[in-house]
Structures are given as structure tokens and as C-alpha cells.
Amino acid sequence: MITRRQLLAGTAAGLGVAALPSTATAEPKTTGRPRPNIVLVLADDLGYGELGAYGQRTIATPRLDRLAAEGLRFTDAYSAAAVCAPSRSALLTGLHAGHGAVRNNPGGDPDSIAFSDGDTTFAEVLRARGYHTGLFGKWGFGPERGDQPSHPNARGFDEFLGYLTHGHAHDYYPSYLWRNGERFELPENAGSDKTTFAPDLFHDRALDFIRTHRSEPFLLVVTPNLPHAPSDVPSQEPYADEDWPSADRGHAAQVTRIDTYVGELVDELAAQGLLGSTVVLVTSDNGPHEEGGFDPDRFDANGPLTGYKRNLYEGGVRIPLIAWAPGRIRPGVTDRLTQQTDLLPTLADLAGVPGPRDIDGRSFSSLLEPRPTAAPAQPYLYFWRLDNGNTRRAREIDAGRLQRAAEAVREGNWKAIRWAPGKDRTVPDEQWQVELYDLARDLGETTDLAATHPEVANRLVGLLRQSWIDEVTRESYGVELDTPDLLLPGVTYELTATLANGSAAAWTGARLVLSAPRGWTVEPATSRGLGRLSPGARVSTTWRVRVPGETTAKEWPLTVSGYAVARDAPLTFRAERRFTPPPPPATDSYLSDLPWLTAVNGWGPVELDTSNGKQAAGDGPPISLGGTAYDKGLGVHSHSEVTYHLGGRVARFTSVVGIDDFSARQSSRGNTIAEVWADDQLVHTSGVLRASTGPEPVDVDVREARLLRLVVRAADSGNGFNHTSWGRRLRPAGLTSHLGGSALAPERCRRRRAAGVDVGRRSADPLLCGSAVGSGAAGGQPSRVTVPLSRRTLAA
């Protein structure tokens, strides 16, 4: 929740939680070789046994099989989870699901699996070393908004085309995608039309990315949603004539299509002369699925392993991993225990940049050299599963425990899996069911040894217990920009940026630079710690920034760049925030026609579309209060806060507020209290609003206020029928502005004030001045008139 003081002053408070211990190696290795380009292809639900190099005999994957023969094939590579969201989070951040920001699939709520500003990805690490970064395909984290910390652009990717949310990626023929921070419409796929196959778009964009950035180091991440269900594909060739169900033919064609994509990427690297300077990695996010009618057993999709997607048995979490770079990576096979958490430190080593040290992964970059040397692995691998999916084969493998909380650990050849009695992982150890397997002798996990080796089982349970931290505070790495959630015209703010060395290597030459829009005034206020940064140290700079009072800009970008040198390699970190200048009301307006700045528990235009204000007027629904119908209304459930920008240009706010008739018909027990805030001043408090007593009028002076905040809170506990609406008649006006030709220019206002004319209170002259922002107020804050509450308002 954003408080009124945060809106006005931009303050924020942090919450201290348990710190994650450092586990990474101390220094990235130096080989003297040029830093390579990186191409990472991440398939979706591709099973361990679905490639020819891993034993597949029915589905054709000739290009991938060749890469495996010419490169390094990992036999003991793992995801960090048995479903995609926590697995992909671990791949990006180097943290397994016991420590990571994303631990489960979203369950229909994209916000539940979102990254924050502190969740450093390998793209942020490589971009600091000068890599141009791009991701094309499935992202799957956070809400469908462009300017937010869980967006790929905010997490280190310069270019993005694909699906933002997890659920959207289940549609192979979407009516839109996201291109960077904007929706990219595909009208040819509207309705049931299937014209543009999204994975083909991702592939074409990846090829173009290679051509465009061939002369600079680049990181290319391609994440097609193949071969995830449904088995949708433009052509089922070369399996169209097979006597299989359509879902199986389509799935096989999807796998072969991935093979074709990878082959064409390699061909493009060759055409651009980049084969000798590029490392190609191909992997999957979890075991094979069994959805949409697909039968994974037809193709032995999990190979010799037991389990499918959602199982913590080997078939659900062991995945293919191929590393290929001709002339660099020696062909061979490795059984190193490798989890996708190892990718971040590996890519950092390849790029020659010290990455974050508070991660679970360990680099295997020494295996990717012409003369490979041993790459120490993590002491054990941790896996977590809590998912609502309930597919038949996975349910049978889990013996009816598929929807329980479960976790697993592999230490050497020992593997332990345990299931809670339900979804609560905090129950005592004795309530969990534990199984133990020796993978060296029993790869198919057929013989449970927990009873015969209790000492091993108990030791591994201890590892499981210590692998989970409820809330993790990451050690800061790179640049952070501390700004308000909202910037208002004509106000001076103090903005602070921090450059933090969360790596294990010392940095030198640390400095920070802020870039603001043209016309803004930026003055350094304080700076500390510039120069050398030891591991774990931070440097910060504060600027005093004044936003112009008038602007025609549609967007305000703020960018901070942090510079340092690590092991003679320059590092450049950057963080960007984009603000939309909030327009004040230009005419008398309904609440439902005004753009809101923030909204909590709003209904009507707030709930129907979070882009309210970008739509045409007229999107507010009619409401009824006390038997009187109002043309439009803004409905809320307590606790609710909706904030609007007035910009000092509004005279009065008049309304009626109460338990609306819709809620009253359901129950007469509803009771709420409504408040009106003008900036940080409480200017109206209602009595207890009840369905039986009807609505109350609101009529308050809000002149010179920049923000209008409407609050509705429950009058007592246990109130479930609290639907409250703000409504108004056509007259008097709910929001009265005097703008355009009848508004006083700022200079005329100053002259009237200098002459002693009271322009802050209602008078016979209907012309009002706006806020005197910066005119003698400390820190550029506007002067405000506190209007006493009238006796009638208090009685209401």
C-alpha cells in the first residue's frame, strides 16, 4: 500500500528478514580467452528422453544430436523444480526454490510469481560487462504491464518479444504479445483464427538479433513455449501420416521444430562468422508433460527415469543440457551434478565479470574449455514442489500425493524425497513421508531404502530442512534507484542511487551518474564512499531534482548509471524508472472518468481496467444510493484507497457516499467510514455509513491540493457487506476546475498575492490560482490552505 506521505515525499521503508548465506566461489576464473557470445535455448516441458542424443528413437532431432556429439552432453543435469515457474526463476537468478523469489506456479495470479528490483538475473550481470541482451519467447513472471520491476527489460534484457505472464504462454496463436514495454497486437489471430504461430516470430526475431549485434558481445535467450501443451503446430510433418492420435503427432512435430530452430540459429552464427566466438547452450525447464491428450509413454519421453512433470522423481527434474562451441568446448560427456542454478555463475565466468556471491549455483565454466578441468559442484541439490496440477500419470507415480507439498535432495548418488501430509511445509518432520534411493544402483527409483539406511535418510532430511528460508534478503548487487512511486509537476525531490558490490571481488573507480529529462534541475546533494568497493560494500549519491511545473512530455524517464572496474574489466550498471506525468482535471468530471494514480480495492473502472484514464470517458457504471440513481459511480470494498491528481487546479469536491443499494439488497449489516484527504490533510470524515441510514453528502474545499485521496474503511470487524460507492448528481459538480481562458496565469496570481489579495479562499471572483509550488516554500513544497471542517460536515 502506498501511503499519502510516500506519494507526496517519496519515502519508503525496508523490512529486515533472514539473510541468505554466501555460497558461491570467491573469484571468477580467468582464461585470457575473449569473452564469447552466449546463445541459450530453453525448451518448455522437453523430457530427458526426447532427444536422440539422450536415447530417443522415434522423434527426429538431428541438429541437436549433432551438437551433443560435437559438444559437451550433461547426463546429470537438473532443473530446480518439477514445474516451469520456479525452475525458470532458478535458472535466471542462481537460487533454488528454497531461497528464490518464485517457488510455485502462479495458480491464476501473475502477481504471485513476480521478481523485484533485488532479484538479479544473469542478464543483468552480463549487461554490466557490455553485453547486448535479448530474450524472445516465454517470460512468465509478473503482471501484464510494461513499466514494473518484474518485466524482462527491468531484469537485464535490452530487447524482449514474447509472453509476459505464465498463462498467456499456453496460447500458440495469441492475439497479442509484448514487445519490450508495449503490447504488440496480432489481429490476424483474433477469435479462433490461427495465422501467426508465435514461436516462429520468436525464432525470426532471434535470427535478426544475431545479424544486428554480430559486431558486439551478445546474450541471446530463446524460450519457445514448445513442446508445452496443447500440441499446436502449423504442420504435423514429418509425422502427419503416422497412425497416432493427433496430440502425439503434434507433439512430435513440436520437438522436431525446436531441433530445426536450433539448427537455423547455428547456421546463422556460421553465416555471420561467429562460430568461433559463441557458446550455445540447449536445455529444458522440467520433465515431460502429459497434458492435452499427449501420451509421453509412446515416445519414452522420460527415458530410463521414473516420473513426469510435477514429480520429484528423476523423470520430473532431470533434463537434457548440451553445451556446444566448436574449437572451444571439447566433445564429451560429463556426469557432473549440475543444476540450472549453475548457469548464472557459469555465464558470469565466461563473460569475465564477478557475479553475485549470495547464490546457490557453482560455475562449470572450466568444463567449457579446450583443456577442461574439474568444476566443483554444489554439495547437494535441492528441489521443491507445490502445485495444483493433477495429471493422471504423475498422480499415479506419486501414489496419490501429487498435490501435497514435497521436496527432494540429491547428495552424491543418494536421493531423498519427502511428502508433507498436506500443503503445509511447516509440519514436524515425523509427519512427512520419506523415501530414499541409491541412484548409482537404482536409476529408476524402484527400491526405497529409507528403512534400511535410516542414518542416510535422517541426514538428507536435515539438508532439506536447512535448504528453506521463508524470506530471503538478497545482498545488493549493481545499481538501485530509490524514487517515489509518483512524481508530481512543480515539486522538488531528493533521489538516491546506490552502487553495491555483492560479488566476491573488489571493485575500483566506483561512481554514479543520474540522467533526467530535459528541463529538469538536477543538483548533487550528498555523496559517500566513491572509489574502491570491497566485497559487500556500497556507495550512494543523492541528488536534489526539481520537476518542471508545466510539461508536454508523455513520459518521464530517469536513469542512473553506476560505473566500476573489476579485475581490469569495466562494469556499467544501470537502472531506469519511467513515470507518466499525471494530468490534472481539465473540466468538471465524474470520478470514473478521471485517471487514478493508485487504487486499492476499487470496483467499476478501477477493477474493470487498470488503464482507466487512457480509455474514453463514460466507463463508470451507474449506481443507486438510497433509492436515488446516479449516472456514474466509483464503487469500493473496504479497506479501499483511490488517489487522484488535482494539481492545485480544483476548487471543490462534492459527492455522496454510502453503502450502495446493490450491497444493501444482500444484507443490511454493512457499515463503513469514508474519509477525504487533500494532500496530507484530512478534510472530511463521514459518520458510520449503513444501508439503513442512507448515503451522506460530501462538499469540501480542495483548492491548491495536489492529491485527492478517497479512503473507505470498515467501521467494525467481521463486516463482509461493505460495498461502498462514491456518486454524484449532475449538479453541483463533483470536481470543479477553472482552467483554460478563465484560469489565472501563475504570474497574475503572484501579483495578486503581492497586492494582498486573498486568492486561496472562495470569493466573489470565481477565478482561482493554482498551487504556489516552490514560491518560498521549503524544499519546493507547495503552500496549502487548511480549510476548517464546517459544523455541517462534522455532523454528517
* 675: number of Cβ within 10 Å: 16
Residue 166's identity, in one-letter code, is: H
pLDDT tens digits for 319-350? 999 999 999 999 999 999 999 999 999 999 99
Cite the DSSP H helix spans in 370-433.
392-397
Q: Which helix (H) or strand (E) holds 315?
A: helix 314-317
Q: Which tens digits make up the pLDDT trace of 541-597?
A: 999 999 998 888 888 999 999 999 998 999 999 999 988 888 888 777 777 777 778
Reduce the DSSP state of residue 343 to 3 states and report it: helix
Average pLDDT of the residues of the chain: 84
226: amino acid identity, one letter: L
pLDDT band, residue 602 (cuts 50/70/90): low
For residue range 420-455, what is the model confidence (pLDDT) as tens digits? 999 999 999 999 999 999 999 999 999 999 999 999
Neighbour tally for 724: CB within 10 Å:
29
Q: What is the pLDDT of residues 708-761, one digit of tens each?
A: 999 998 887 656 667 788 875 433 334 443 222 222 233 333 333 343 333 333
Cβ neighbors of 15 (< 8 A, separation 6 or more) are none
User: pLDDT digits over 611-641, tens only?
Assistant: 333 343 345 667 788 888 877 777 777 788 8
Q: Which of 187-201, 528-542, 739-753 has the highest mean pLDDT?
A: 187-201
The pLDDT value recorded for residue 581 is: 83
Please report, rounded to a whole number, the percentage of residues in the chain having pLDDT higher than 70.
84
> Could you tell me which residues are beta bridge partners of residue 791?
none
d(CA 72, CA 317): 20
Q: Residues 101-156: pLDDT tens digits? A: 999 999 878 888 999 989 999 999 999 999 999 999 999 999 998 888 999 999 99
Residues with Cβ within 8 Å of residue 324, at least 6 apart in sequence: 67, 68, 70, 71, 72, 279, 280, 281, 282
The three cell numbers of residue 507 are: 571493485
Residue 19 has pLDDT above 50, yes or no: no
Helix (H) or strand (E) run with residue 508 in it: strand 507-515
Residue 321: CB atoms within 10 Å: 27
How high is the pLDDT of residue 20?
A: 39
How far are the Cα atoms of 215, 308, 708 from residue 312, in angstroms, in the given order? 43, 8, 52
The confidence band for 647, taking pLDDT boundaries of 50, 70 and 90, is: confident
- Pair 721, 646: CB distance under 8 Å: no
